[in-house]
Amino acid sequence: MPSDDRTEFGEYLRRRRAGMTPPEPPLRVRTSRRRVPGLRRQELADIAGISVEYYTRLEQGKAPRPSREVLAALAQAFEFSKAERDHLFRLAGEPPPELELPEATIRPGLLRMLRGLADTMPVTVHDGRLDLLALNAAATELLQPLAATGPYGRNIVYQVFTATALPDILGHDGAEQLVRVAAAELRLYTPGNPA
C-alpha cells in the first residue's frame, strides 16, 4: 500500500474511533475522566480482537498492509455499514468483499403453496434482490404484458417502474398502489442487497 494511502487509512480509523460512544462504566465503579473523545485505542482493539500495539501502528500508518481478516474485524468493531466497510477496504488497498448472492432455491413447500393458489390469487416468489424466481398461473397472466428484457428483466421492481401497460391492467389507482408497494420493497431490500 502506498505511503499516502496508509496515512489516509490511519486518519480514517482515528476519525471513526473518535466518533464512537464510549461504553457505560458499571455502577459504583470509579473511573478516571476520559481525556479522548470516543473509544480508546485499547477498547477498540479489544472489540476487534487485535493487539493495541498493532492497532496503534495502523492508525499511525506504520503497520504493513492489514489482512482482509483484520479489515473485516475492524469493520465489525466499528459497526460499519456496507458502504463504510467497502471504503475501509479500499483505503487499505484491498478490493471490497463480494456481495453474497441471495438464496435462489425455492423450497418444495413454497412451490406447492404457489401452485395451490394459482386459481385464487397471483403470487410471486423473489430472491433478496427482488428478482423473480417463480410465479403461479394467475401471476403469469397478470404480469405477461410486463415482461421486460435486459439485465433487469426478471426484477419485479424494475418491471413495475418501467411497464407502460400497468394502468391498463390494474387501473390508475391499482397501478399507483403497486408502484408504492414496489418502492417500499426496494427500500426494504436495498441496504442489505444492493443491485
pLDDT at residue number 101: 55
Closest CA to 158 of 170, 168, 173, 143: 143
Task: Name 114's Cβ contacts closer than 8 Å, sequence gap at least 6.
Answer: 123, 125, 134, 135, 136
Half-sphere exposure of 192 (CA within 13 A, CB side): 9
Report the predicted TM-score, pTM, of the whole model to 2 decimal places.
0.49
Three-state SS at 176: helix
Q: What is the mean pLDDT of residues 86-108?
A: 81
| Residue 135 grid coordinates | 410465479
Greater pLDDT, 49 or 190: 49
pLDDT at residue number 147: 59
Domains of the chain: 3-91 (1.10.260.40), 108-189 (no CATH)
The winner for highest mean pLDDT among 32-46, 67-81, 109-123, 166-180 is 67-81
Alpha helices in 49-136 (DSSP H): 52-60, 68-78, 82-91, 108-116
Closest CA to 90 of 73, 60, 66: 66
- Tens-place pLDDT, residues 36-92: 678 899 999 999 999 999 999 999 988 888 999 999 999 999 999 888 999 999 999
Residue 149: pLDDT band (50, 70, 90) is low
pLDDT at 121 over 60: yes
CA distance 189 to 136: 23
pLDDT at 105 over 60: yes
Residue 26: pLDDT band (50, 70, 90) is low
Output phi, psi for 101, to 5 deg: -70, 140
